[in-house]
Amino acid sequence: MLGLFGAGQTWAGNPTTLTVGGTNALNGGYWTTNADGTLTEASADNYNVYYDGNGTLTLKDATINGTNTTGHVGAGIYAEGDLTIVLEGSSTVTGVQDPNDESQSIRVSGNLTIQGGSLTAQGAETSSGSSYGIFVTGSFTQQSGIVTAIGGNVSGNYNSEGLYVYGAAVTVQSGTLTATGGDTSGSSYGISARGPVTVGSAAVTATGGSGNASYGLYIDSSSPSVTISGGGSLTARSESADRAGGIYVLNFFGSAGAVTVGDNSTLLANSVILYDNSFTENPLAPTGNGSWLIYGQSNQPSAVGGTYTLKENITIPSGAVVTIPAGSTLTIPNDKTLTVDNANQLVVNGELVLEGTFDNAKELEGSGNLVLGEITLTDDEGISEYAGYHLKLKSKKVTYTRALSDNSQYGTICLPFVPTSVADGQVTYYQVEKLGSNVITLVETDFEAGKPLFYRTSGTGSITFSAESAAGVELVTIPTTDSFMVGTMSVATPTAGYFLKNGNIYPIANGEKVKVKPFRAYVKGQNDASQASVMSVNVARP
């Protein structure tokens, strides 16, 4: 285990040792690299590796391989002291297994800062030792660029870690960091840190591989914290294991632990866990004004925070139950899918915006709302497609077009929403005030969702009722009734009452059945032969 303890001291200041691809680079200079990772002395006019002799190493489309020198842990870049790596173009550093069976692609015994282009650091596969993409004994700071750190697969009971930061903080100010642990019989970590983790305007993905233990982001500290700000994002996932966590916070010395998601920032994790001095695992709820989704942890009290929109397809693991709390919104956009084994794995107490795919949405339970995308209602289908939902319904936009009868001013209507726009005609709404033997008296009224009404319009051809709201338009799927009228949202065949046809109102007599189309209404009543064959309409003055 020389890789862990043989050089355990943290150096301050510029490196006192710097080896790149097996070449001593401490005194500075220029080198080219070939496909095998061999370094050859070069000049400023043509180089892949440049060290300024003062703590800054520049990689320009470099290919660097590790060496099996004892004490250098198979590293392609080995530094004792603080090191800044400046990236130009795309470079790769690949570790090898050293004589002590360790592999650390990049080893910095000090503080490591990375900026610029693209870097991939790959630990080797090992048989009886640990493998690391990047191993730092001080702090790790990424100022910009694209960094990929991968721990190799390990056949024995040892660790595989993408990024291991032993001594201090992990700070990703900008750019993209992807850290992945390999498969092992031991423990696999995407990122393992002994200090706070801060993500600025960057995208960080930390993924643990399979093993006895698996962690996406693991923090072991007396005051552990994860902070995401500046519009940044953190994705942290683990595999199934005896001990696992997307974010796993270990604090043997107290009960403190915090995950903060700031404005316009996002967190996606399969779980967030705090293991404290009570020696038990407990859910750790994120806080902040950003948004998050924790999709694999049944006892997580804040599984959804703010308004979180899926950026990828997500599957809630079998047996896990995710609850959207009141005040929070989960959005499934039109090109994404949320998959569950059973609808009861998702409880909606806030809002679920469903524009993409979620099977069995009708079976969802909770005290919240299901917000659908744009829907168009038709007389052919009625409300049937939207009936039977257990949740209260909303829609981003809903439209219904009514074909008008020729020379008809009056009609009936019963819509599941309140229209905010009526195109191609002025419409006035009425309810029945009084029903006589040969006259129906109407009085002007306001529109209400599900309320059966008469309307009057000067339009011809058709009129279109619509409503649109980013917050969702409330929908009802069961019409209301009043003392005089019955609304329909599917085809109805009343055998008594009064119906409107071609601008006239007729009684339903002698048990005759009348077909009333969806989104219309008829007047209640018990009819007899003494009634007029055609009812007249009187509009009361307000």
The span from the CA of 200 to the CA of 176, in Å, is 11
CA dihedral 327, 333, 336, 341 (to 10 degrees): 40
Strands 369-377 vs 453-457: parallel, antiparallel or unpaired: unpaired
Predicted confidence at residue 71, as pLDDT, reads 86
**To which H or E segment does residue 522 belong?**
strand 520-523
The span from the CA of 416 to the CA of 490, in Å, is 11
295 and 323 Cβ atoms separated by less than 8 Å: no
Tokens of 43: 């000049």
269 and 235 Cβ atoms separated by less than 8 Å: yes
Predicted confidence at residue 532, as pLDDT, reads 59
Strands 170-180 vs 140-142: parallel, antiparallel or unpaired: parallel
The span from the CA of 533 to the CA of 259, in Å, is 74
The span from the CA of 495 to the CA of 512, in Å, is 6
**pLDDT (tens digit per residue) in 430-475:** 999 998 878 889 999 999 999 999 999 887 788 999 999 999 999 9
The span from the CA of 358 to the CA of 280, in Å, is 35
Mean pLDDT of 413-428: 92
The span from the CA of 135 to the CA of 133, in Å, is 7
- Burial group, residue 120, by CB count within 10 angstroms (0-12, 13-18, 19+): middle
pTM reported for the whole predicted model: 0.90
Mean pLDDT of 248-265: 93
Confidence of residue 70 (pLDDT cuts 50, 70, 90): confident
In the three-class reduction of DSSP (H, G, I as helix; E, B as strand; rest coil), residue 119 is classed as: strand
Other C-beta atoms lying within 10 Å of the C-beta of residue 428 = 15
The span from the CA of 331 to the CA of 357, in Å, is 11
The span from the CA of 152 to the CA of 127, in Å, is 10
Least confident of 111-115, 297-301, 478-482, 500-504: 500-504
CA dist 411 to 145, 212, 273, 375, 507, Å? Answer: 65, 70, 60, 23, 16
Predicted confidence at residue 530, as pLDDT, reads 52
Sign of the CA dihedral with 205 first, then 211, 215, and 221 last: negative
**pLDDT (tens digit per residue) in 84-123:** 999 999 999 999 999 999 999 999 999 999 999 999 999 9
What's the DSSP call for residue 322? Answer: E
Mean pLDDT of 353-360: 95
329 and 305 Cβ atoms separated by less than 8 Å: no
Predicted confidence at residue 514, as pLDDT, reads 86
- Burial group, residue 160, by CB count within 10 angstroms (0-12, 13-18, 19+): buried
Checking if the pLDDT of 3 tops 70, the result is: no
